[in-house]
Structure 1
Amino acid sequence: MNLGRKIVLAWLLVLASAAGAMSHALEPGYLDLRQLTPETWQVFWRRPDVQGAPMDIDADLPETCTPRRGDAPKSDGYAWITGWVASCPDGIGGGIVSIPGLDAQRTDVLLRVQPLDEPVSTIRLTPGEPAYRLPETLSTGSVFLSYIGLGFDHILEGWDHLLFVFALLVLIRDPWRLVGAITAFTLAHSITLALAALGHVTVPGPPVEACIALSIVFLAVEILKHEDGAYRLSERAPWLVSFSFGLLHGLGFAGALTEIGLPQGDIPVALLAFNVGVELGQLTFVAAVLVAIGMIRRIVPGMVRSMREAHSPGTAMMGYAIGSVATFWLVDRVMGF
């Protein structure tokens, strides 16, 4: 087997491996601390589900609080939740909130602190930084940085969104049309993300996720039907296709953001930051793919060119690989209605 075929096979294996995984990685955990009185705090702790069991993490409140942990969690069908009221007579300012076990996971935990007489603040805890010392006052800047990170992680952990963008890169040969398509996709999902997150549009999640998979199947078919010198609508005006499907993908982003929640008092900041994070993640992915294509072009001159030709083996394998993964997702999501 020559080097070119090995590289193509490697791409197929990477794409096929995604079919056995969830289209999104685990959603972040969520810890909400809401002050009830000067000495008491209501705690809501939501752990991600891992194959029908709560993720092996927990939440520890500052040492000034009693109790520091809640009872055994109960499933709500999507995640595992615990709630309790903690007594913190000396306050929580300067105390440490930690998530034991987070350093061994691949997800984050969003910490929201809602004092009685101060602005709501949001902090993102990560495997690298699973603990946070609460300052006396929390700033809006922490909300912006936290939600940028959440948006960035969400797009890079969303296999279906990335596969859609990758299919665009394979389908559209003209650089300017490609720029127009990605711009239209960005504009469209920004619109529906904002409308849905603010409650102006409400659409059930499962049908949206199924339609997102269907959008990738459509692009795979367009890749396979490409004819040199005879552009189809998706290639002549790709921004129309990208904009239409981008509206669907925005609803998918909004579903994740709804589960995370938006901090009251900082909703515009959090929404903007999440969207900026999504765009940064998308641009990072596009840049990585273009760099990989450039490296392949250097190692195997002519391979990329041959894969851009209509009905070539490389084009066919890429189209069928993308379509197979997307079809698996489509069937799996429809069966889960």
Structure 2
Amino acid sequence: MKGGLSAWLHGLLMLSCLLLGSVASAHEMSMAEMQVREMAPGEFIWQWTATEKRAASDDLAPAWPDGCTAEMNLLHCGKDGMQGTLSVNGVGKTYSAALVKVYWLDGQSRVYTLTASQPTVHLYGAADDHRGMGEIAWAYTMLGVEHILSGVDHLLFVIGLLFLVGFKRNLLWTITAFTAAHSLTLALSALGWLVLRSPPVEAAIALSIVLVAGEALHQRQTLARRWPALVAFLFGLVHGLGFAGALKEIGLPENHMLVALLTFNVGVEIGQLMTVGAAWALWRVASRWSRVAQARTAALYGIGAVASFWAWSRALAIFA
């Protein structure tokens, strides 16, 4: 039974490595972007912008407000303008979110974010952003949760911290330090006060995973073992820049920017706590088996190998 369990764990580990290794930009979210431009009162032209995936029109279909009639890429809304409920069918499948950028005739613009949890927005026929604070808070919270749970590199770093610290009292301080750090740089970057190129940030994130996995493999009293909260804080500053890159793609509403920024970060923390909770439950079950230490070592080598591959590929992207 024990031998079978060990073989099963090793097989699962190898499968996970193969799946993870194919994702070089693991923390990117899949976004589709639509541009809608008012050419004359009540008359619009719209189109999906280019993406790295197949055409967004193959997977997404806009449902325009009542009173608007679409003819190919033309939209006729009459004298009342484009006001009412706008939705995009198919969000949450191939694409995590759809960004609808509306350019009004008076020169103003607004960005609306639609997700699987909030597939509709209300337009008021003008650039004034009348979206309720609760609507924006819910949308950006869900986007934060989706980002951390789909961001394999961020999750591997958190799991590496769990292996390094264990489920002990100082785990609370370590996770808190990581949270405080990435919240800080996320805010600074999202507000435009700290701007760095994406490739170096992504490479540094991968290297942080390699370091934590390596430190968790031995018992020497290094800086990471004596002060895991400090290490988590320093690397959390880098991970916050990665979160900010995703938030930049999504966009922030002008009238409720701080609410969107705060709730996106809250969503990230919810996803992070879900990961810690799931890891604790798995640890409680796995601790009954005598060979769990072997599985732990194999898992750390697997995490380090995947992160090393990401580090090399992302470092090459710096000079591409």
What is the TM-score when the length of structure 2 is the normalising length?
0.83
> Aligned partners of 1:107 and 1:169: how far apart in 2?
28
**Equivalent residue number for residue 321 of structure 1:** 302
> Aligned partners of 1:336 and 1:270: how far apart in 2?
31
**Equivalent residue number for residue 21 of structure 2:** 19
Is the Cα contact below 8 Å between 1:123 and 1:142 reproduced in 2? no
Q: Does the residue aligned with 1:250 lie in a helix, a strand or coil?
A: helix
> Aligned partners of 1:206 and 1:295: how far apart in 2?
39
> Aligned partners of 1:331 and 1:293: how far apart in 2?
31
1:188-227 mapped onto 2 (5 Å cutoff): 188-224=181-217, 226-227=218-219
1:294-333 mapped onto 2 (5 Å cutoff): 294-298=284-288, 300=289, 302-304=290-292, 307=293, 313-333=294-314
> Aligned partners of 1:219 and 1:326: how far apart in 2?
10
Is the Cα contact below 8 Å between 2:28 and 2:246 reproduced in 1? no
Q: Tell me, which stretches of 5 or more residues in structure 2 are unaligned?
A: 125-129
Shift of 1:42: 6.9
Q: Supply the AA of the counterpart residue of 2:300.
A: G
**Equivalent residue number for residue 275 of structure 2:** 285
Q: Does the residue aligned with 2:52 lie in a helix, a strand or coil?
A: strand
Is the Cα contact below 8 Å between 1:147 and 1:274 reproduced in 2? yes
**Equivalent residue number for residue 170 of structure 1:** 163
Q: Does the residue aligned with 1:171 lie in a helix, a strand or coil?
A: helix
Query: Which is worse superposed, 230-239 or 242-251?
Result: 230-239
Is the Cα contact below 8 Å between 1:190 and 1:250 reproduced in 2? yes
> Aligned partners of 1:133 and 1:247: how far apart in 2?
33
Shift of 1:47: 5.9
Higher relative contact order (CA 8 A, sep 6+): 2
Shift of 1:212: 0.4
Do residues 54 (structure 1) and 61 (structure 2) align? no
Q: Does the residue aligned with 1:49 lie in a helix, a strand or coil?
A: coil
1:74-153 mapped onto 2 (5 Å cutoff): 87-94=77-84, 96-102=85-91, 104-105=93-94, 107-111=96-100, 122-126=112-116, 130=119, 132=120, 134=122, 138-153=131-146
> Aligned partners of 2:98 and 2:314: how far apart in 1?
26
Do residues 336 (structure 1) and 284 (structure 2) align? no
Is the Cα contact below 8 Å between 1:47 and 1:57 reproduced in 2? no
Q: Does the residue aligned with 1:30 lie in a helix, a strand or coil?
A: strand
Report the number of matched residues.
307
Q: Tell me, which stretches of 5 or more residues in structure 1 are unaligned?
A: 71-83, 308-312
Structure 1, residues 55-102: CA drift from partner, whole Å, max 9, x if none?
4234433353354653xxxxxxxxxxxxx88654333333x4333444
Shift of 1:111: 4.3
The alignment yields a C-alpha RMSD, in angstroms, of 3.1
Q: Supply the AA of the counterpart residue of 1:210.
A: A
Is the Cα contact below 8 Å between 2:178 and 2:232 reproduced in 1? yes
1:22-37 mapped onto 2 (5 Å cutoff): 22-24=25-27, 26-31=29-34
Are the structure 2 counterparts of residues 15 and 183 from structure 1 closer, same or farther at C-alpha, using a change threshold of 3 Å? farther
> Aligned partners of 1:325 and 1:10: how far apart in 2?
14
1:54-73 mapped onto 2 (5 Å cutoff): 54-55=55-56, 56-60=58-62, 61-62=64-65, 64-65=67-68, 67=70, 70=73
Shift of 1:289: 1.2
Query: Which is worse superposed, 261-270 or 58-67?
Result: 58-67
Q: Supply the AA of the counterpart residue of 2:55.
A: P
Q: Quick one: which of 175, 179, 197 aligns to 1:186?
A: 179
Q: Does the residue aligned with 1:175 lie in a helix, a strand or coil?
A: coil
> Aligned partners of 1:315 and 1:58: how far apart in 2?
42
**Equivalent residue number for residue 80 of structure 1:** none
Shift of 1:180: 1.3
